[in-house]
Amino acid sequence: MQNKSSSTRDEILRLLKFKKRLTVIELANELGITEMAVRRHLNTLERDLYIQSTLVRQAIGRPIHVYQLSAKGEELFPRNYKSVTLEFLEDIHKIGGQEMIHQLFQNRLDRLTKRYDDRLKNKTFEEKIKELASIQNENGYMAEIEQKDDDVFYINEFNCPISEVAEHYEQACACELQLFKDVLKTDVTACSCLAKGDDYCRYEVKKPSENRKK
């Protein structure tokens, strides 16, 4: 069960979603609590990056802070990205066939490879695989690195933000596998896959032969 503080913060977020921009006084009036209590909740929400404030000058009196949801705060509310994405892919498949779907995923692979390469350049292999896991975590994959020995690592991903797409289009998983191979420049094998019903995605990564101990 949520405590009162959590419920009040949720109500502030809901009000900002509906009203878009509110001052401390307006929030206090809507919630029926003191301005001091409102400020305390706003400080927490702003610290956690769910809201942002703008200083607005008035014709008379001191400037006041106006609060609104941040991009992170907007993401707290239901979105329908997954079903819309699948519908677009289905329509593209009907119009352009399998070749068009393949090209879409190839374009995504090319785009991600360039983006990841920029983050991984000038790093050792060990640094690259750690940075790769960091990038995946930033994208919501809940990734961790497991080291088997000096030459073999595993990338384990406990969440897949595109799982519904991957369940319908195997190119999504093939794209990720190829991405890992391209940016790490070594052999990578997919051992398990969330989209196929496994508990998590697991990739075996072998250190490039030139980096292995003799």
Q: In this predicted model, what pLDDT tens digit does every residue of 131-182 receive, in sequence order?
A: 999 999 999 899 999 999 989 999 999 999 888 889 889 999 999 999 999 9
- Residue 69: name the closest of 40, 41, 45 by CA: 45
Is the separation of the CB atoms in 187 and 179 below 8 Å?
Answer: no
Stretch(es) of the chain classified as CATH 1.10.10.10: 4-74
Residues (pLDDT < 70) of the chain are 1-6, 79-80, 211-214
Stretch(es) of the chain classified as CATH 3.30.1380.20: 81-211
* pTM of the predicted model as reported, rounded to 2 decimal places: 0.66
CATH number of 4-74: 1.10.10.10
Q: Which two tokens stand for residue 142?
A: 């809940």
Local structure of residue 201 (DSSP, 8 states)? E
Q: Which pLDDT does position 1 carry in this prediction?
A: 38
CATH number of 81-211: 3.30.1380.20
Residues 6+ apart with CB under 8 A from 211: 124, 125
- Residue 155: name the closest of 96, 98, 203, 108 by CA: 203
- Which is it for the CA torsion 88, 82, 176, 72, positive or negative? positive
